[in-house]
Structure 1
Amino acid sequence: MNYRHSFHAGNSADVVKHSLLIALVRALQQKPGALTLIDTHAGCGLYDLRGDHAQRTGEAAQGVERVFAGANPLLDDYRAAVRAVNAGPEPLLYPGSPRILAQLLRPQDLLIINEKHPEDAYALRGAMRGTHAAVHERDAYEFWLAMLPTRTPRGLVVVDPPYEQTDERARITKTLAAAHRKWAHGVTVIWYPLKDRSAHVHWKEKLRRLEITKLLNVEHWLYDADQPGIYNGAGLFIVNPPYVFTQGLAPMLEALRAALAPEGHRGTLGAEWLS
């Protein structure tokens, strides 16, 4: 699997991930204390939906464009984040997680982002020009642990790899265990694609065995039955989600499911605690 951001910008997975990321940061910001926001696999930061990579897959048509065609007010914050990088009403550019996090910063907050891929790191620095983000070009898993505990009492780590390597899930599991030992109260968001259900169930069991006290799993299956060999959806593991976020989660998930369901399918988008 290769889920390099530029090929999948604005797809259904991005819509869910970024909608929930905005809601999560907003929930954390209900307290006035400073936050450190960290993105371990930041990508390019900003994507041209009319560019070659995005056009090759055409996935934005089933993602951000569907949300823009609707009017559910629960998705207004997401639409606003996309509009912020576009001059007109149509979403021609798409903000990656670092650009969205930069929009959410308060004066007291910090943003630290990382991208190892040299070409993407160069593009990222350009995309983040004018923001207050600190940009690193390091191994994502070494960077993740090196940033913990955060410089502020509270923080959020976003882990969003391309899953190019066969050991990606094993590295995430190992690093999450080490990160939790260093920073047990911190909030961590891990994005993943869904392709093979049995492999995913096996990974969930490995994460469950870490015995993290508050580990929420948000899972989005696009189709009513598995489609062998293709992308079936995506999800998030969220460590220590704040109460305000979880209380408002169900209606937002239903709004996202309804907006993104492929023609002829209802799909499922739900959440469960793994601990």
Structure 2
Amino acid sequence: MNYRHSFHAGNSADVVKHSLLIALVSALQQKPGALTLIDTHAGCGLYDLRGDDAQRTGEAEGGVVRVLADNNPLLDEYRRLVRAVNGDGESHLSPGSPRILSQLLRPQDSLILNEKHPEDAKTLRAVMRGTPAAVHERDAYELWLALLPTRTSRGVVVVDPPYEQTDERARITATLGSAMRKWAHGVTVIWYPLKDRPTHVRWKQQLRRLGIPKLLNVEHWLYDTDQPGIFNGSGLFIVNPPYAFTQALPPLLEALRAAIAPEGHRGDITEEWLGR
């Protein structure tokens, strides 16, 4: 499945991913110690919803557009960060994870971004100019391991690939296993699209076999029944989520479900511990 960021910017998957990243980083920042935030597949960082790629799919209408019109206070911080990149004008820009994370940085925190695609990396550098982010152009999985353990005692690695390669899930599984041996206490977030259920069930079983003690799985299914051959939603594997995050998660998930459920569908967002 090819999931280039520019075609899907601001869709329901972006909303869920970014809302949970905001909640996760905010929970970690309840302690004053510095954080290192690493995004292995950073993309362009900022997307114009009026551009050809976004207009071709129109997926933002079911994601960021709906949430900006929603009034649930649990989504206020997400709305604030989206509006911040748009200034006082119409909200036609959708921030990717790099711009979301850069807005959350405290003076003691650091942000490391990586994008292997040369043109996207060039765009990313321009988008992140004026922020303290460091931008790399390396193989994502090599960089993931090379930067562990982080220079600060705490950190978050965000893994958000386009799933263009057939071995993407296998590479993630192998790299995560190696990463846990180097950085067992670190927080890792792995995003994935949901298309067909059997593929994901097999992957979940493979991840269980890694024996990670604290592995949380959040899944967002858009429709009440699986829709064959199309994008059905997205999920996140979260390694070592902090207690403050998991305690606040149920009402946030319900707010997200209600805000972006497609017309005629209730949708479903679930959380499940895989490693306990």
What TM-score comes out, normalization by structure 2 length?
Answer: 0.99
AA aligned to 1:259 is A
Counterpart of 2:216 in structure 1 is 216
Following superposition, the deviation at residue 89 of structure 1 comes to: 5.6
The 5 Å alignment of 1:100-119 reads 100-119=100-119
Counterpart of 1:77 in structure 2 is 77
SS of the residue 1:252 aligns to: helix
Following superposition, the deviation at residue 270 of structure 1 comes to: 1.2
Distance 1:77 1:272 in 2: 25
AA aligned to 2:226 is D
Number of residue pairs matched?
275
Distance 2:130 2:87 in 1: 17
Following superposition, the deviation at residue 226 of structure 1 comes to: 0.4
Distance 2:221 2:101 in 1: 26
- Asked if 1:91 corresponds to 2:91, the answer is yes
Distance 1:91 1:271 in 2: 31
The 5 Å alignment of 1:115-264 reads 115-264=115-264
Distance 1:240 1:104 in 2: 20
AA aligned to 1:222 is L
Distance 1:271 1:90 in 2: 34
Q: Which deviates further from its counterpart, 22-31 or 89-98?
A: 89-98
AA aligned to 2:251 is P
RMSD in angstroms over aligned alpha carbons? 0.6
- Asked if 1:37 corresponds to 2:65, the answer is no
Following superposition, the deviation at residue 99 of structure 1 comes to: 0.7
SS of the residue 1:155 aligns to: strand
Runs of 4+ in 1 over 2 A off after TM superposition: 87-90
Distance 2:30 2:40 in 1: 24
SS of the residue 1:216 aligns to: strand
Deviations 1:182-237 (A, max 9, x none): 00000000000000101100000000110100000000000000000000000000
Distance 2:262 2:89 in 1: 24
Distance 2:8 2:41 in 1: 14
SS of the residue 2:204 aligns to: helix
Gaps of 5+ in 1: none
AA aligned to 1:248 is A
Distance 1:238 1:87 in 2: 32
SS of the residue 1:237 aligns to: strand
Distance 2:65 2:90 in 1: 8
Following superposition, the deviation at residue 90 of structure 1 comes to: 3.4
Deviations 1:34-87 (A, max 9, x none): 000000000000100100110010000000000011100000000011011002
Distance 1:209 1:273 in 2: 13
Distance 1:91 1:149 in 2: 38
Following superposition, the deviation at residue 263 of structure 1 comes to: 0.6
SS of the residue 2:173 aligns to: helix
Distance 1:89 1:197 in 2: 40
SS of the residue 1:119 aligns to: helix
What TM-score comes out, normalization by structure 1 length?
Answer: 0.99
AA aligned to 1:241 is P
AA aligned to 1:273 is W
Distance 2:91 2:228 in 1: 31
AA aligned to 1:9 is A
Following superposition, the deviation at residue 88 of structure 1 comes to: 3.1
Following superposition, the deviation at residue 259 of structure 1 comes to: 0.5
